[in-house]
Structure 1
Amino acid sequence: MSHPGAALYPLRLTVTAKPLVFGGQAIARRLGKTGIPDWSIAETWECSDVTGAVGVVAAGPLAGRSLRQVATDHPRELMGAGWSGQYFPVLTKFIDATGALPVHLHADDETARRLEGERNGKTEAWHILDAAPGATALCGVKRGVSPEQLRAALRAQDFDAVLRRLPVRAGQTLYVPGGTLHSFGPDTLVYEIEQTSDIQQHAMRWHMEDGSPVEDAEFDVNLDMLMRQVDLDNRPDFTPGLALTVGDGVERVFLCASPYFALERWRAGTAEPLRHSFATAQILSNVGAPVRVRTGAWEEEVGRAETLLVPAVCGDIEITGPADVLFGYLPDLDRDVRAPLLEAGYPPHLIDSLGQRHGE
């Protein structure tokens, strides 16, 4: 049921900034994001309906309402026909790994329900915005490593003995299914899209909030729970995405896509504007210079590293270039991903590689 008298429009949400120990100042200094604290920031939660960090509408007739209220009051207008849920299903963040993230994992759906008492797990994807030469990430357990070997190496903090270390390059994307051990950094700037969740299990001897030590008893409890949640068979790889030319100087790249979320990066010059039609809510995050965004009668500037949640009811959007923007959303895979890529001539196995869904 819609809230009377309040039509949906593109929503600017409050951002939660997380000052964790691996962070720095790249989100402000390299991306140009304003309005965040002037100290070391690890993450900004751009579009969040995670309990305890729920975004609040910052402007317009719905100012002061939480994203959860908007999703509850306007499910069809926000998410499109056929959607039902108790919260907005996709979470997006900028992450500054000036230092290395802790080695950790997030449970998949089944494990989250069984062991964490949560409604869903946390599959995620990282889109690399910037990385120092030689940057690497840890992701997945090496082939042939037994649970006993893994636990012993994690206990000794000998991560390279058991985890895959991958080269990291700007512009690439890694789809990380729930249950996959991972870390990235140092000197890596990432846009992350994931299921709405904050569950995680760490394999570190320090707390990421303040760097204080984790005592042995707590560490062993953490390790026991992590070992119950790890998937030894997930070995995802980075992908450059699948590109389409959709106008004169307008490029659309599908970075990742699964039942949980999809992420696209669109770039445009000045020959013609970026035009995008959609049937579900779009999380628009600007990773380039400020742009003018228009949908229907609504038109505003979206600055550097700002995010806009564009409801499904808007239907289409026009952005004046030059533009470099990300669109994250909950996809209908056949309609939103497979159809345009098949039409462009991409084979099904390449399309499926955008979401390496182990076991599906």
Structure 2
Amino acid sequence: MYPLRLTALAKPLVFGGQAIARHLGKAGLPEWSIAETWECSDVTGAVATVREGPLAGRSLREMVADRPEELMGPGWSGTYFPVLTKFIDASGVLPVHLHADDEAARRLEGQPNGKTEAWHILDAAPGATALCGVREEVTAGQLRAALEAQEFDRVLRRLPVRAGETVYVPGGTLHSFGPATLVYEIEQTSDIQQHAMRWNMEDGSPVGDEEFAANLDMLMRQVDLASRPEFTPGLRIAAGDGVERVFLTASRYFALERWTAGTAEPLRHAFTTAQILTNVGAPVRVRSGAWSGELGRAETLLLPAVLGEVEITGPADVLLGYLPDLDRDVHAPLLAAGRGLEDIAAPLAEPESGGTPRTDGGGAP
């Protein structure tokens, strides 16, 4: 096993632009507007494949099936990779929508899991905002009436958006962001969603009255009126001379960290579960196991768990996403760095009950 370069799906949705190529510097994108690139995906119909090396041509789902513990860590089993990551260019405004939580996904969508997600803001214009959650004391009837009238600010919370902050968005939360906002998104592996718009995000075509009413019916069965997430700056700890580690968000579904390093010493990190390494800075040199190579701007490597460690030569600015054991991977390093339990609970709270999932509990989404 070695660090895996995966194919990335580019999606030309109507709210997209060219910031992923022009601002982040991602190479190889088409000339037209791109809304999303799926950096690490095992969603059915959008499964990534390995681009280089002896495993070239193998799909991520095949890797999960054939070498689950080497890829994900000891004791793990499942039929698909559990974490999805994306760049999202909201040059325009995303549709107001939600994703089902686990229970609603199984009961209403026939899917094995829902889609809780988190947005890490890479860049945002001054005054940028996001809609995220229903205002307090808004009833289901009031929400339905406002959605029918497309009067979103009447019932939804509008929050300021700033680069460097992160918000954890549980399934069932109504949301939207944009314009002029560039996001790195990490989420459960799923593509289920319910929209509240009179237009389709694929091409801007109108949604008919009958379809619109059916969409709202399903959305209202899935919405969580009590979910009101907040943006946070994350928790910072020193990880070496000029090396900083920021825990951006963490739950039983995924964790996301941002690491920066200067030139005094390399960024070094040991791990026991697969790491999705995404570069959001200048090109860097990466070594993991016996492999070494360059990771360019806005490129991603999937580091299998069996490799156990990674070293990145600075200057570096990278993201690491993974399926965590919360005690081992999040709480322990924060406590060792002098962070108290009260610090950990605030920005990294686990909204849903239960421990770290070790199986997917069903067929692939």
Question: What TM-score bracket applies, with the shorter chain setting the length?
Answer: over 0.9
1:5 paired residue number: none
How much does 1:355 deviate? Answer: 4.0
Verify: 1:29 aligned to 2:22, yes or no.
yes
2:300 paired residue number: 307
Verify: 1:251 aligned to 2:239, yes or no.
no
What is the rounded CA distance, in whole Å, between the counterparts of 2:65 and 2:109 in structure 1? 25
In 1, are the aligned partners of 2:334 and 2:344 still within 8 Å (CA)? yes
How much does 1:121 deviate? Answer: 0.1
Query: Residues 123-160 of structure 1, C-alpha deviation per residue, up to 9 Å, x if partnerless?
Result: 00000000000000000000000000000000000000
Q: TM-score, normalised by structure 2?
A: 0.96
Q: SS of the residue aligned with 1:183?
A: strand
1:217 to 210, 218, 233: 210
In 2, are the aligned partners of 1:141 and 1:163 still within 8 Å (CA)? yes
2:140 paired residue number: 147
How much does 1:344 deviate? Answer: 1.8
Unpaired runs of 5+ in structure 1? 1-7
2:360 paired residue number: none
2:187 paired residue number: 194
2:310 to 312, 317, 322: 317
1:80 paired residue number: 73
In 2, are the aligned partners of 1:283 and 1:309 still within 8 Å (CA)? yes
Query: Residues 178-212 of structure 1, C-alpha deviation per residue, up to 9 Å, x if partnerless?
Result: 00000000000000000000000000000000000
What is the rounded CA distance, in whole Å, between the counterparts of 2:209 and 2:62 in structure 1? 42
1:347 paired residue number: 340
2:232 paired residue number: 239
1:276 to 255, 259, 269: 269
Q: SS of the residue aligned with 1:317?
A: strand
What is the rounded CA distance, in whole Å, between the counterparts of 1:117 and 1:66 in structure 2? 24
What is the rounded CA distance, in whole Å, between the counterparts of 2:104 and 2:60 in structure 1? 27
Counterpart residue type for residue 152 of structure 1? A
Q: TM-score, normalised by structure 1?
A: 0.97
1:10-49 matched pairs, under 5 angstroms: 10-49=3-42
Query: Residues 67-116 of structure 1, C-alpha deviation per residue, up to 9 Å, x if partnerless?
Result: 00001111010000111110000000000000010000000000000000
1:8-157 matched pairs, under 5 angstroms: 8-157=1-150
Counterpart residue type for residue 307 of structure 2? C
Distance 1:355 1:200, change over 3 A: farther
What is the rounded CA distance, in whole Å, between the counterparts of 2:283 and 2:212 in structure 1? 45
In 2, are the aligned partners of 1:136 and 1:165 still within 8 Å (CA)? yes
Q: SS of the residue aligned with 1:222?
A: helix
Aligned residues: 353
In 2, are the aligned partners of 1:42 and 1:97 still within 8 Å (CA)? yes
How much does 1:350 deviate? Answer: 2.8
What is the rounded CA distance, in whole Å, between the counterparts of 2:289 and 2:211 in structure 1? 54
What is the rounded CA distance, in whole Å, between the counterparts of 2:347 and 2:216 in structure 1? 31
In 2, are the aligned partners of 1:177 and 1:357 still within 8 Å (CA)? no
How much does 1:162 deviate? Answer: 0.3
What is the rounded CA distance, in whole Å, between the counterparts of 2:115 and 2:127 in structure 1? 28
Q: CA RMSD in A?
A: 0.8
In 2, are the aligned partners of 1:177 and 1:356 still within 8 Å (CA)? no
Counterpart residue type for residue 58 of structure 1? R
What is the rounded CA distance, in whole Å, between the counterparts of 2:272 and 2:352 in structure 1? 29
2:279 to 268, 286, 290: 286
In 1, are the aligned partners of 2:250 and 2:350 still within 8 Å (CA)? no
How much does 1:351 deviate? Answer: 1.5
What is the rounded CA distance, in whole Å, between the counterparts of 1:320 and 1:359 in structure 2? 37
4+ long deviations beyond 3 Å: 354-360
In 2, are the aligned partners of 1:234 and 1:358 still within 8 Å (CA)? no
How much does 1:177 deviate? Answer: 0.2
How much does 1:342 deviate? Answer: 1.5
How much does 1:345 deviate? Answer: 2.2
In 2, are the aligned partners of 1:258 and 1:354 still within 8 Å (CA)? no
How much does 1:356 deviate? Answer: 4.3
